[in-house]
């Protein structure tokens, strides 16, 4: 056994001596710097603004109701329909009014048919009076000549008075007929006007925004049937009482309507002088240009320009967001470094930096794809 071990050991030593020595790893060449564009964080003059929230409302609207009680026969419009001035909206059952109108028309015709008879009576009374006056004239001449007695003269005088009274009575009756005819005409016109209320019409051109009536319902005076808004809208914004001194009628203002993704240049048209006790705010009305997409109830923001102020700003595209954190890449000795920042207001493509940067810092913009903290960078010329 000892001889075998002695024989094997030199062979192992020989194999060990023939093994190759390990090679050293070659050093990796450093990555080339990434070419980037830089912008300088600089102090800028930004407009000082005040933003007030509000609601879009129609400049004028009307709640349509019936003027007398009646059942609804037909509704001609639906919510969202545009109507013109005078267009029929709701038709009420007016059969009883039609009957009243017919009675008034018949009464007027009855008076009209009586007028020729009254005119004949006046003419007859006038002819009788003329005859009696001519007879009296002759009787008077005979009386002056003492050819007739006092009794005969008195009878002739009485006949004249009676004829004159009959003539005046006929004329009075004729005048009464004129008054009755006028009264019948007024009653007929009154029934026609009342009948016209059965056709509820649009007081102006606009948009139907609410409907609370259907055929068969009983329309009651004062109860809403429809609501119509006239074309033309405005934003009614709530302005804090502490800011009211900075707002005036005619002041230019920017209105932003997020719901329809539109903004408008407008002007303040009215400031309601009363303050709301609950919100401690005034209502400021701002006229809006006519736009088909406008509707009552849309949320809006009024942006008032209140001068200018200095602030540190960078392009909004340079900011990277992760959750609630915002950061930018700055260049420090040729190396990209991520830096957390706090943002303020945004104006167009610029954003205000409240903390995390100083004026003169070099910010990478735009941010290249795949850029990470610690990458070597080189500014493009």
Give, for 247, the enclosing helix (H) or strand (E): none
Please tell me the distance from the alpha carbon of residue 360 to that of residue 381, in angstroms, as a whole number.
18
Does pLDDT of 374 surpass 70?
Answer: yes
pLDDT digits (tens, 9 = 90+) for 261-307: 888 899 999 999 888 888 889 899 999 988 888 888 899 999 888 77
User: Which CATH number is 34-45+310-379 given?
Assistant: 2.40.420.20
Give the pLDDT band (50/70/90) at residue 7: very low
pLDDT tens digits for 230-248? 878 999 999 998 888 888 8
Question: How confident is residue 16, by pLDDT bands cut at 50, 70 and 90?
Answer: very low
Which part of the chain is CATH 2.40.30.170? 51-59+231-308
Locate CATH 2.40.420.20 in the chain.
34-45+310-379
**Tokens encoding 117:** 């008879």
What tokens appear for 229 in the block? 């808004």
Residue pLDDT, tens place only, 72-115: 999 999 998 999 999 999 999 988 888 888 888 898 888 888 88
Q: What percent of the chain has pLDDT over 70?
A: 92
Residues in CB range of 111: below 8 A, 6 or more apart:
177, 180, 181, 184
In which residue ranges of the chain is CATH 1.10.287.470 found? 95-196
Choose between 195 and 357: higher pLDDT: 357
Please name the residue ranges forming H helices in 53-149. Answer: 95-144
Q: What is the C-alpha to C-alpha distance for residues 105 and 62, in angstroms, rounded to an integer?
A: 35
Query: How sure is the predictor about 355, in pLDDT bands with cuts at 50, 70 and 90?
Result: very high
The distance from CA 379 to its chain's CA centroid, rounded to whole angstroms, is: 54
Confidence label for 30 from pLDDT (cuts 50, 70 and 90) = low
More confident residue, 341 or 68: 341
pLDDT recorded at residue 108: 87
Quote the pLDDT of residue 28.
52
pLDDT given at position 4: 43
Banded model confidence at residue 18, pLDDT cuts 50, 70, 90? very low
In the predicted model, what is the mean pLDDT of the chain? 85
Q: Label residue 345 by pLDDT band (50, 70, 90).
A: confident
Q: Is the pTM of this model over 0.85?
A: no
27, pLDDT greater than 70: no
- State residue 19's pLDDT score: 44
3-state secondary structure of 244: helix
pLDDT band at 166 (very low <50, low <70, confident <90, very high): very high
109-151 pLDDT, tens digit each: 888 888 898 889 889 999 998 999 998 888 888 888 888 888 8
Q: Could you tell me the pLDDT band of residue 47, with boundaries at 50, 70 and 90?
A: confident
Domain 51-59+231-308: give its CATH superfamily: Efflux pump adaptor protein, beta barrel domain (2.40.30.170)
pLDDT band at 253 (very low <50, low <70, confident <90, very high): very high
- Class in CATH terms, 95-196: mainly alpha
Domain spanning 61-92+198-228, CATH architecture = Beta Barrel (2.40)
User: HSE on the CB side for 33, CA within 13 Å?
Assistant: 13
pLDDT at 211: 92
């Amino acid at each position: 056994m000892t001889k075998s071990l002695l024989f094997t050991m030199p062979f192992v030593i020989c194999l060990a001596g023939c093994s190759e020595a390990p090679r050293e790893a070659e050093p990796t060449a450093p990555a080339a710097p990434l070419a980037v564009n830089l912008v300088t964080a600089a102090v800028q003059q930004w407009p000082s603004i005040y933003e007030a929230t509000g609601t879009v409302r129609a400049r004028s609207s009307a709640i349509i109701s019936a003027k007398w009680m009646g059942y609804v026969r037909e509704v001609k419009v639906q919510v969202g329909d545009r109507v013109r001035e005078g267009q029929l909206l709701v038709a009420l059952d007016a059969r009883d009014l039609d009957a009243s109108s017919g009675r008034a028309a018949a009464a007027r015709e009855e008076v009209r048919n009586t007028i020729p008879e009254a005119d004949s009576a006046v003419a007859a009374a006038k002819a009788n009076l003329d005859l009696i006056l001519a007879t009296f004239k002759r009787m008077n001449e005979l009386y002056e000549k003492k050819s007739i007695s006092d009794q005969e003269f008195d009878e002739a005088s009485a006949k004249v008075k009676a004829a004159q009274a009959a003539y005046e009575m006929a004329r009075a009756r004729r005048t009464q007929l004129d008054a009755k005819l006028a009264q019948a005409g007024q009653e007929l016109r009154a029934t026609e006007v009342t009948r016209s209320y059965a056709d509820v019409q649009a007081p102006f051109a606009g948009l139907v925004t609410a409907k609370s009536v259907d055929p068969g319902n009983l329309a009651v005076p004062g109860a809403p049937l429809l609501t119509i808004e006239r074309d033309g809208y405005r934003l009614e914004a709530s302005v804090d009482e502490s800011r009211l001194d900075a707002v005036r009628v005619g002041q230019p203002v920017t209105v932003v309507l997020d719901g329809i993704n539109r903004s408008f240049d407008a002007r303040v048209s009215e400031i309601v002088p009363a303050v709301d006790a609950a919100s401690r705010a005034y209502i400021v009305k701002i006229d809006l240009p006519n736009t088909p997409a406008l509707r009552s109830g849309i949320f809006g923001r009024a942006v008032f320009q209140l001068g200018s102020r200095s602030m540190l700003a960078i392009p909004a595209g340079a900011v990277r967001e992760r959750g609630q954190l915002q950061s930018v890449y700055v260049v420090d000795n040729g190396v990209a470094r991520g830096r957390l920042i706090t943002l303020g207001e945004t104006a167009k493509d610029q954003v205000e930096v409240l903390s995390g940067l100083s004026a003169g810092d070099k910010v990478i913009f735009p941010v290249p794809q795949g850029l990470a903290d610690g990458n070597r960078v080189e500014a493009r010329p």
